[in-house]
């Protein structure tokens, strides 16, 4: 395919540049370009008030697609820690408060798990994607990555809880993986693979 061929824009209903970068790496095999909703001044802020990842992802994608008249992907993802009965879950991004930084969130998590032994620190990242295109039925895709919560942060790649999410198959935290390595095993990569398969079948 010619490099001059215009890529089809898909609006990501997020202002998280880390997510935008990950999506564009995953989109390299397709003639798609992920653009952040922050590039559209008229796009509204969508409140994530759903009780599930799917509800939040679908709400974001529908709202942005309707306002902009473009295909949109809503992404809601988070961390589920078994010792905390699935928390922080849908509250992952604001675990330590509405304006909390990534470090504040994972430090709060480490504090809560301070006395929990490694064998009981099992956790997983979950991701739900909702693809909404004007005039089409929404497509829902999911992915997960199993792991455990480390006792201390390590690594400088990625974002969110990556520095404290230990991946047993890699013997390191998610933040110690290169972007290319992460995109072969991450919850978002698994959800994207699921989404691409479902889109092909439409």
The catalytic residue positions are 76
Rounded to 5 degrees, φ, ψ at 132 are -125, 125
37 close to 61: Cβ distance less than 8 angstroms: no
113, 115, 117, 122 alpha-carbon torsion, rounded to 10°: -10
Annotated binding-site residue? 161: yes
Annotated binding-site residue? 187: yes
Annotated binding-site residue? 8: no
Annotated binding-site residue? 124: no
152 close to 135: Cβ distance less than 8 angstroms: no
Annotated binding-site residue? 47: yes
Annotated binding-site residue? 107: no
H helices within the chain, ranges in order?
Answer: 17-26, 53-68, 102-112, 179-185, 187-200
Annotated binding-site residue? 183: no
Annotated binding-site residue? 7: no
Question: What is the C-alpha separation between 144 and 32, in angstroms, rounded?
Answer: 23
Annotated binding-site residue? 19: yes
- Mark residue 89 as left, alpha or beta (left: phi above 0; alpha: psi -120 to 50; beta: remaining): left
Annotated binding site for Mg(2+): 47, 76
Annotated binding site: 14-19, 47, 76-77, 159-162, 182, 187-188
């Amino acid at each position: 395919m010619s490099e001059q061929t215009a890529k089809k824009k898909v609006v990501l209903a997020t202002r998280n540049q880390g997510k935008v970068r990950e999506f564009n790496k995953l989109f390299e095999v397709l003639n798609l370009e992920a653009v952040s909703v922050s590039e559209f001044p008229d796009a509204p802020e969508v409140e994530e008030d759903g009780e599930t990842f799917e509800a939040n992802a679908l709400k974001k994608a529908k709202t942005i697609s309707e306002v902009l008249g473009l295909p949109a992907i809503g992404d809601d993802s988070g961390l589920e820690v078994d010792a905390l009965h699935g928390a922080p879950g849908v509250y992952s991004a604001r675990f330590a408060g509405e304006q909390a930084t990534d470090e504040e969130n994972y430090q709060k998590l480490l504090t809560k798990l301070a006395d929990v032994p490694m064998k009981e620190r099992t956790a997983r990242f979950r991701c739900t994607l909702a693809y909404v295109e004007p005039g089409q039925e929404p497509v829902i895709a999911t992915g997960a990555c199993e792991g455990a919560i480390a006792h201390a942060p390590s690594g400088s790649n990625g974002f969110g809880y990556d520095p404290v999410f230990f991946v047993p198959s890699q013997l390191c935290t998610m933040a110690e993986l290169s972007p290319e390595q992460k995109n072969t095993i991450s919850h978002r990569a698994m959800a994207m693979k699921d989404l691409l398969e479902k889109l092909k079948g439409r």
